[in-house]
């Protein structure tokens, strides 16, 4: 069954990441090894049909491989490493309203057992889940079926996930007034305002927490302090601009909110191992080599 899912993903790929005509579905497909990739995760579930990928976020790391699924429930800057290729996965972008409507339909609004600390969790897929995800991706073979069937199959996938080890964290994702929801709100606020000077008091106000509680819960959820979270967002965006080749290190630093180019260069080198211009040239060279291959 996993082979059928991997084949369906490969059949509809369009580059490494492919947005699809099916709502909330993204396809990921890679055949050759690549250097680690900076990503900004949003709330999503990744169903891996082949290969393996690790993720690093601050002090946290995880590996998810063939036949497994991975849930991330908040905005999170991540470094992804494709540990084994070929790699094929289907990604479900979480919609809180869809999940809440399903829980109301099931009359199951209680949060259930407490989720484990953190906002990421992985588990093995059941055959029923693999079948449902395969049918979901398979809708791309018959576009006329997407509108009448996509939401129904997505609902089936979510229904089966609620009964899986991912269920407790999924249920918590729908609750508004919890510590986890407040941390998600703080992370989303920082992601939307990462160019601005960071005020811990302001972020604590967004989260309706004391600064001490915010630091503790934010670090548990993301593997980073709020300040390190902001720095990672800034550096990832600056690196993206530099790799595109249309800017300089000084301009990129200013564009993402750094007041000091010296501080930017120092923090960039600490994270990526080289000064900004040299690192960008290295990455562009790797991309060119991959394209020739």
Query: Which residues in the chain show pLDDT less than 50?
Result: 109-111, 113-117, 293
CA distance 54 to 122: 12
The whole-number pLDDT of residue 175 equals: 84
Please report how many Cα atoms fall inside a 13 Å half-sphere around the Cα of residue 59, on the Cβ side: 9
The whole-number pLDDT of residue 118 equals: 63
Tokens representing 88? 């094929």
The whole-number pLDDT of residue 291 equals: 52
The whole-number pLDDT of residue 289 equals: 63
The whole-number pLDDT of residue 290 equals: 57
CA distance 97 to 155: 12
pLDDT, tens digit, 9 for 90 and up, residues 133-172: 999 999 999 999 999 999 999 999 999 999 999 999 999 8
Report the predicted TM-score, pTM, of the whole model to 2 decimal places.
Answer: 0.91
CB 154, CB 167: distance < 8 Å: no
Q: Which residues pair with 90 in a beta bridge?
A: 27, 47
């Amino acid at each position: 069954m996993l082979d059928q899912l991997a084949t369906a993903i490969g059949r509809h790929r369009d580059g490494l990441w492919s947005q699809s005509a099916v709502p909330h579905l993204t396809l990921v497909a890679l055949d050759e090894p690549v250097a680690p990739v900076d990503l900004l995760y949003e709330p999503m579930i990744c169903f891996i049909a082949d290969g393996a990928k690790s993720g690093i976020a601050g002090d946290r790391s995880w590996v998810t491989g063939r036949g497994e699924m991975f849930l991330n429930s908040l905005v999170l800057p991540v470094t992804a490493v494709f540990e084994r290729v070929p790699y094929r996965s289907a990604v479900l972008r979480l919609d809180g309203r869809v999940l809440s409507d399903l829980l109301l339909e099931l009359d199951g609004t209680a949060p259930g057992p407490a989720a484990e600390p953190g906002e990421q969790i992985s588990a093995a897929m059941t055959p029923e889940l693999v079948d449902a995800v395969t049918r979901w991706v398979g809708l791309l073979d018959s576009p006329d079926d997407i509108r009448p069937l996509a939401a129904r199959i997505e609902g089936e996938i979510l229904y089966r996930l609620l009964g899986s080890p991912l269920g407790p964290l999924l249920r918590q994702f729908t609750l508004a007034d919890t510590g986890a929801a407040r941390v998600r709100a703080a992370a989303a606020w920082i992601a939307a305002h990462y160019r601005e000077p960071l005020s811990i008091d302001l972020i604590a106000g967004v989260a309706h927490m004391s600064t001490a509680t915010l630091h503790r819960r934010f670090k548990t959820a993301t593997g980073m302090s709020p300040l390190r979270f902001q720095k990672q967002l800034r550096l990832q965006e600056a690196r993206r601009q530099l790799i595109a080749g249309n800017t300089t290190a000084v301009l990129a630093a200013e564009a993402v909110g750094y007041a000091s180019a010296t501080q930017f260069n120092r923090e960039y080198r600490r994270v990526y191992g080289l000064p900004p211009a040299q690192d960008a040239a290295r990455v562009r060279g790797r991309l060119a080599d991959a394209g020739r291959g």
